[in-house]
Amino acid sequence: MNDNPFENENDIHTDFKEKMTYGDYLQLDQLLNSQRRLSDHHDEMLFIIIHHVSELWLKLIIHETKGAIAAIEQNNLRASFKMLSRVSKIQSQIINGWDVLSTLTPAEYMEFRDKLGNASGFQSYQYRLVEFVLGYKAPHILKIYQNDPEIYRILEDAYHKPGLYDVAIQALARHGFTIDEEVLNRDFSKTYEKNASVERAWMNVYHNAPAYWELYELAEKLVDIEDWFQQWRFRHMKTVERIIGHKTGTGGSSGVGYLKQVLDHYFFPELWELRTKI
């Protein structure tokens, strides 16, 4: 038995003088040089990498959700299912990240927390973009980014566009369900509020799933995403509580207090309320 299987691979490329490498394609020099500690403390690297990884996953969630929105708008629900399923898988990965960050003790975090200044995950514009594409539009949030024109433009654009649930409701209307005009023509810069006509439509879908299978599957994909999002919020809150207790956040929020307040927010309220009524 050959202890060096590499020797049997005669066609493996080894000369990359004029060829693109794995590192070139992924721009690893730039990526791996982005983790720059502001202190000499060993555990700051953990803190930075966890947040970098989360931001990369958020970028992919935004990419997939926007793709799903476009597919639903084109009445191609089946194409959206793959993307929405992928979003759920990504969410599970982000949640696992809290388990890694939880290995950071309060004493260890305090060794470098002051280096953050007023920087906080509360300011993550990609997280806010995820909220916007899912339909949660809080006007005060935009103020955080008023000094960064490019990010402000990106967020403001998403702020005024229909979110994932809006296009799902429009799909209900295209399939013949009666949806109130005030919902179909609503101001998309406002956070969606539950509506009786939307609940009746979804209830009909659930009671007649074989006849409306694609809409039924779409609804369950949305519930999956909301379920994972709420788990993410909970793990975020408990991780913060575990590391800093009830201290004020570096960004000025009430920390755990703020995170507890948002636990009960629903992006797709009718899809949860109908479960009690079926």
To the question of whether residue 250 is assigned a binding role by annotation, the answer is: yes
The angle at the Cα of 44, spanning 42 to 46, to the nearest 5 degrees, equals: 95
Give the span between the Cα atoms of 147 and 161, in whole angstroms: 22
The residues, any chain, with a CB within 8 Å of residue 147's CB and separated by 6 or more, are: none
Alpha helices in 102-212 (DSSP H): 106-110, 125-134, 149-159, 164-174, 181-184, 196-207
Interaxial angle between packed helices 44-73 and 125-134, expressed in degrees from 0 to 180 and rounded to the nearest 10: 30
To the question of whether residue 69 is assigned a binding role by annotation, the answer is: no
Which range is least confidently modeled, 14-28, 30-44, 98-112, 207-221?
A: 14-28
Which of 186, 173, 176, 219 has its CA nearest to residue 77? 219
- Per-residue pLDDT tens digits for 210-254: 999 999 999 999 999 999 999 999 999 999 999 989 888 777 777
- pLDDT value at 38 more than 80: yes
Determine the average pLDDT of the residues in 161-169. Answer: 98
Give the span between the Cα atoms of 147 and 256, in whole angstroms: 27
To the question of whether residue 169 is assigned a binding role by annotation, the answer is: no
Give the span between the Cα atoms of 116 and 38, in whole angstroms: 8
Fold of domain 41-276: Methane Monooxygenase Hydroxylase; Chain G, domain 1 (1.20.58)
- Per-residue pLDDT tens digits for 108-135: 999 999 999 988 888 899 999 999 999 9
Which range is least confidently modeled, 11-25, 146-160, 236-250?
A: 11-25
Q: Provide the residue ranges of all domains of the chain, joining segments of one domain with +.
A: 41-276
To the question of whether residue 122 is assigned a binding role by annotation, the answer is: no
Interaxial angle between packed helices 77-101 and 213-244, expressed in degrees from 0 to 180 and rounded to the nearest 10: 10
To the question of whether residue 265 is assigned a binding role by annotation, the answer is: no
To the question of whether residue 105 is assigned a binding role by annotation, the answer is: no
The residues, any chain, with a CB within 8 Å of residue 138's CB and separated by 6 or more, are: 131, 191
To the question of whether residue 191 is assigned a binding role by annotation, the answer is: no
Confidence of residue 10 (pLDDT cuts 50, 70, 90): low
Question: Rounded to 10 degrees, what is the CA torsion of 94, 97, 98, 103?
Answer: 180
Please indicate, yes or no, whether the overall pTM of this predicted structure exceeds 0.85: yes
